[in-house]
């Protein structure tokens, strides 16, 4: 989180937070602030996206400062833009305060730069699962992604076998270094290293949480 984000959190009357935040951040909210959990996990949603949107609108009409606290990067394969658009359409003033994106923070926390002048001059960020309703032929262009120097796959653990299969089929070498990071930057951070060819097996044996 940035200093600006922390200062807003310290002045919040309401904090609507998701499942991927560091729970210690909630200690920054003032005593008496209303803390509302609106997290989503695979198969377990505390409320629908429509309900979250409407909750934010209602709370914004009742209080001066409402903080929507999200982890990872809500504008990268997240619902941040949907919430922003909903509130804008309702005439609710919103300020977006970006944090550090997990797309670069997670590799860095594991000691891996996404670019390196002698090894990697490009990187791409892709979701690890197909969007709802897409068939087997939908989703990312894996042939193009296989040619990117460094590939960051968010929410990829559940689909690691499919992701690695697609990259190998697109002629990405099996001995390409690969790793999985869970709970990046937190005290519980875990890292599993492997190669592209052995990553799925390493993931199956790791016991890592599904949001790795």
Catalytic residue set: 18, 40, 155
**Where are any strands of DSSP class E within the chain?**
14-17, 34-37, 40-41, 44-45, 66-69, 123-127, 150-154, 177-182, 190-195
Burial of 130 (0-12, 13-18, 19+ CB in 10 A): middle
> Residue 102 and residue 95: Cα distance in Å, rounded?
20
Cβ burial 27-43 (10 Å sphere, 16+ → b, else e)? ebbeeebeebebbbeee
Q: Is 124 helix (H, G, I), strand (E, B) or coil?
A: strand
CB 80 within 8 A of CB 102: no
Helix ranges (H only) for 95-182 are: 102-109, 142-145, 160-169
CB 27 within 8 A of CB 17: no
Tokens representing 197?
């060819």
């Amino acid at each position: 989180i940035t200093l600006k984000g922390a200062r807003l959190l310290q002045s919040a009357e309401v904090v609507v937070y998701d499942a991927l935040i560091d729970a210690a951040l909630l200690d920054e909210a003032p005593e008496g602030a209303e803390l509302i959990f609106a997290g989503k996990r695979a198969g377990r949603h505390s409320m629908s996206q429509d309900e979250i949107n409407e909750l934010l609108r209602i709370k914004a009409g009742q209080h001066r400062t409402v903080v929507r606290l999200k982890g990872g990067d809500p504008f990268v394969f997240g619902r941040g833009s949907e919430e922003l658009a909903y509130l804008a359409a309702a005439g609710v003033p919103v300020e977006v305060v970006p944090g550090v994106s997990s797309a670069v923070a997670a590799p860095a926390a594991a000691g891996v730069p996404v670019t390196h002048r002698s090894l990697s001059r490009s990187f791409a960020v892709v979701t690890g699962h197909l969007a709802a309703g897409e068939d087997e032929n939908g989703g990312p262009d894996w042939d193009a992604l296989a040619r990117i120097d460094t590939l960051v796959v968010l929410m990829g653990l559940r689909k690691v076998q499919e992701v690695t299969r697609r990259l190998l089929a697109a002629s990405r070498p099996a001995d390409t270094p690969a790793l999985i990071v869970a709970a990046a930057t937190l005290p519980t951070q875990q890292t599993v290293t492997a190669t592209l060819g052995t990553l799925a097996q390493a993931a199956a044996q790791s016991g890592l949480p599904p949001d790795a």
